Structure 1
Amino acid sequence: MKMSDVAKLANVSTATVSRVISKPNSVSIDKRQRVLDVIKELNYQPHIIARQFKTNKTKTILVVVPDVTSAFFAEVLRGIEHIAIKNDYLVILGNTENKIDTEKKFVNLLPQRQVDGMVMLTARLDKKTLEDLSKKYPLVLACEYIEGLTVPTVSIDNISCARKVTEHLIRLGHTKIAHITGPINVILSRDRLKGYQEAMINNGLDIVKLYIQEGNFCFESGYDQMSKLLALEDRPTAVFIFNDEMAMGAIRAIKDSELNVPEDIAVVSFDNVYMSSVCEPRITTVNQPKYEIGRIAMDLLLKLINGEEVQNSKIILKDELIIRDSCGSRSRQYRVRGEQT
């Protein structure tokens, strides 16, 4: 089925059919309706590649995500997709599985013009590579923030949040506080570790090397790293964990050791995924506005694609410390809100 077939049956030119598809308001109501009726009757689908040659746009964007199975990233993706679909864009997911080589392959789709722009929910690439890409192509970084990077970014202040949640444990009287990090080659892991260390130093507490264990985001890793902490002769009384999934694994390890949370060991973490609010005990965690991160990132990308000026290219969203049962401060949930810039 060709555009000329639609034009013939509707008794209009192919140019008119093209305008109805791309700029419907530029065509009179009568002609527009005739063309739309024929399109519906013939079930005509415009050829995407042909449209790309004419408009220089694919109407497709790529989202590079480190783990598509993550409940956290699923909510960010939902925000991206809602805005993309509203603006007639298709979303392609590039799952890197936390591998930098895979990330590089997806990023190469930009210079190949296979997508109009890219939202990166992970950034293993070096700063210069990201800077060079953003100068040539529409690119937005979400969730991760790299100091000094000029690429438009949407995130929370991970250092401040990690400091806040660690200080919460300190206010509860804990002095032996451990930290299970994410992979240290990830900027978020380093930022949250830095926030933990700042809180300990600012409060005159020792940073014990054995109290810092490197995980890899998943439940099993949380279980394994917590088991190492429990095996210490002088074990910690509290632990701050990189994300909720590892925190749930850590809580399972504590229970399997016939200890209790929070009576024997208090647990706090990050992300506020749904399961953190329904597991036993419910987890004290830092909430990121996941959907808003995705929505705002897509809004920024559309502005870049359309050549619009981006006034605020560094958006830091408000966080919330959601205090539940796992830290032992009180049984009823409440929230401590952060700042937004």
Structure 2
Amino acid sequence: MSIKMSDVAKLANVAPATVSRVLSQPHLVSKDTQEKVLKAIKELNYQPHMIARQFRKKETKTILVVVPDITRPFFSEVLKGIQHKAVENGYRVILGDAENDIQREGEYVDLLFQKQADGMILLTARMDKNRIEEISKQFPLVLACEYIDGLDISTVSIDNVSSARKITEHLIRLGHSKIAHITGPMNVILSRDRLKGFQQAMNSHSLPVEPTYIQEGDFSLESGYHQMIKLLSLENPPTSVFVFNDEMALGSIKAVKDSGMKVPDDIAVVGFDNLNMSSIIEPNITTIDQPKYEIGNKAMELLLQLINGKEIKKKKIVLKDEILIRESCGSPASKRSITPFPASTK
């Protein structure tokens, strides 16, 4: 038998309108009455009719999160941070996997126009800049992980330029001058920023950046493997490699082993993101630790503020990263950030 609101009202000895207020505007109801109604709801296992509620309140209590590629392990912790904050505030999360397809990103955005979600968190930002800006003027929207320069949109990320510069400088500290970089796809801003940080570190120490030392990957283990094979095949191969992410770094280490060499004895490898697997494989990977859970949690917090009509004074949130020094670079393992080079060092 279907339990109705009137059944709850009868058991709690209140009017049906009071039950409705407890569900939609609890601040208008006394604490004692709230407790009576909630006890009756629990006892009867009453499930409010979500569609009717949406129609009345013009809200769905649903958040849309668009991910560029759900198969990438990096996003699992970010999504967990979003999910926990959402559930804590009475929202559910719908996940959209764009599969690195810009057109599909746009199709997910249509769900906002169809009133199927109250707001959106984009973990990918590859659509046209003007399109994203236009959407943000009509709906609550937050960018996380990826970002777009020059947009007045709430964004949560780390400083990818600074992080890449920091991990490259660590290789320079270890005495490397022939340093290569396996990038991510260059149509993604994170790839361009990490390349920029790498170049800044090399230039500030008057070290040449060989064009053949820059190889473009596609985020995957396989591309890390193939790009490292290319680097090892050079007449004058590098002695160390900064890899865009830990997934490709894993592939790179496999390529070194398959070539009859050792990491870090013959070539040092460092990654980015601090995936769980990076501390398990041998050798453990030196990497940049992104606060993945915190990025997701903060992004959801900002989105809730936008949904509730609150003004966000600080729209660009840059969270702290940390370099984790492990075996793959050939230096003693440490879990603390290294001291940056003095500003005057050239």
TM-score band by shorter chain is over 0.9
Deviation per CA, 1:254-282: give whole Å up to 9, x if none: 01111111111110110011111111111
Q: Which moved more, 1:21-30 or 1:134-143?
A: 21-30
1:189 pairs, out of 159, 168, 191, with: 191
Please give the alpha-carbon distance, in whole angstroms, between the structure 2 residues aligned to 1:236 and 1:36.
66
- Identify the residue that residue 153 of structure 1 maps to in structure 2: 155
Quick one: structure 1 residues 176 and 33, their matched pair in 2 at CA, closer, same or farther if it must change by over 3 Å?
A: closer
Contact 1:325–1:332, Cα closer than 8 Å, also in 2 = no
In 1: Cα distance, 2:35 partner to 2:336 partner? 55
- Distance in 2 of aligned mates of 1:95 and 1:126: 18
Please name the residue that 1:42 is paired with: 44
**How far off is 1:78 after superposition?**
1.0
Question: Matched residue of 1:133: which SS?
Answer: helix
Deviation at 1:104, TM superposition (A): 1.0
Contact 1:220 1:249 in 2 (8 A): yes
What letter corresponds to residue 120 of structure 2 in structure 1?
M
TM (norm. structure 1) is: 0.94
The answer for the alignment partner of 1:24 in structure 2 is 26
Query: Percentage identity across aligned positions?
Result: 64
Conserved 8 A contact 1:182-1:215: yes
Kindly tell me: are residues 20 and 78 of structure 1, through their superposed partners in 2, closer, same or farther at Cα, counting changes over 3 Å?
same
Amino acid at match of 1:189: S
CA drift at 1:37: 4.2
Contact 1:100 1:124 in 2 (8 A): yes
Q: Measure the CA separation in 2 of the matches of 1:21 and 1:159.
A: 47
How far does residue 32 in structure 1 lie from its aligned partner after superposition?
Answer: 4.0
Indicate the larger mover: 247-256 or 103-112. 103-112
- Answer yes or no: is 1:106 the counterpart of 2:108: yes
Alpha-carbon distance in structure 2 between the residues aligned to 1:177 and 1:183: 19
Conservation of the 8 A alpha-carbon contact between 1:321 and 1:337: no
| Unpaired runs of at least 5, structure 2 | 341-346
Amino acid at match of 1:275: M
Aligned equivalent of 1:120, options 114, 122, 143: 122
Q: CA deviation at 1:29?
A: 5.2
What amino acid is aligned across from residue 322 of structure 1 in structure 2? L
Partner of 1:135: 137
How do residues 218-233 of structure 1 correspond to structure 2 at under 5 angstroms? Answer: 218-233=220-235
The separation in 1 between residues aligned to 2:59 and 2:339, in whole angstroms, is: 41
Identify the match of residue 287 of structure 1 among 280, 286, 289: 289
Do the aligned partners of residues 336 and 126 (structure 1) sit closer, same or farther apart at CA in structure 2, a change above 3 Å counting? farther
Distance 2:334 2:47 in 1: 55
Task: State the partner residue of 1:262.
Answer: 264
Q: Distance in 2 between matches of 1:333 and 1:309?
A: 38
For these two proteins, the number of residue pairs brought into alignment is 338
Secondary structure of 2:70 counterpart: coil
Per the alignment, residue 301 of structure 1 pairs with 303
The letter of the residue matching 2:191 is: S
Q: State the Cα distance separating 1:213 from its structure 2 match.
A: 1.1
Task: Tell me the distance in 2 between the aligned counterparts of 1:334 and 1:19.
Answer: 52
Task: State which of 53, 60, 63 in structure 2 corresponds to 1:61.
Answer: 63
Q: Which amino acid aligns with 1:251?
A: I
1:209 aligned partner: 211
Partner of 2:173: 171
Which residue in the other structure is 1:80 paired with? 82
User: TM-score, normalising length from structure 2?
Assistant: 0.92
Kept in 1: contact 2:224–2:252 (CA 8 A):
yes
* Counterpart amino acid of residue 181 in structure 2: H
RMSD across aligned C-alpha pairs, in angstroms? 1.8
Pick aligned residue for 1:319 from 321, 326, 339: 321
Gap runs ≥5 in structure 1 = none
Residues 332 and 195 of structure 1: is their aligned pair in 2 closer, same or farther, counting only changes over 3 Å? closer
Cross-structure match for 2:5: 3
Q: 1:13 to 1:337 in 2, by over 3 A?
A: farther
Displacement of 1:43 after TM fit?
Answer: 2.4
Of 239-248 and 140-149, deviating more is 140-149
Q: Aligned partners of 2:31, 2:290: CA distance in 1, in Å?
A: 46
My pick for the range that moved more, 260-269 or 7-16, is 7-16
Report how far residue 194 of structure 1 moved: 1.3
Change (3 A) 1:328 1:211: same
Equivalent position amino acid for 2:96 in 1: G
Q: Tell me if structure 2 keeps the 8 A contact 1:180–1:242.
A: yes
Mapped to 2, the partners of 1:192 and 1:124 lie a distance apart of: 17
Q: How far is the alpha carbon of 1:5 from its aligned partner?
A: 4.1
Query: Which has the larger displacement, 56-65 or 327-336?
Result: 327-336
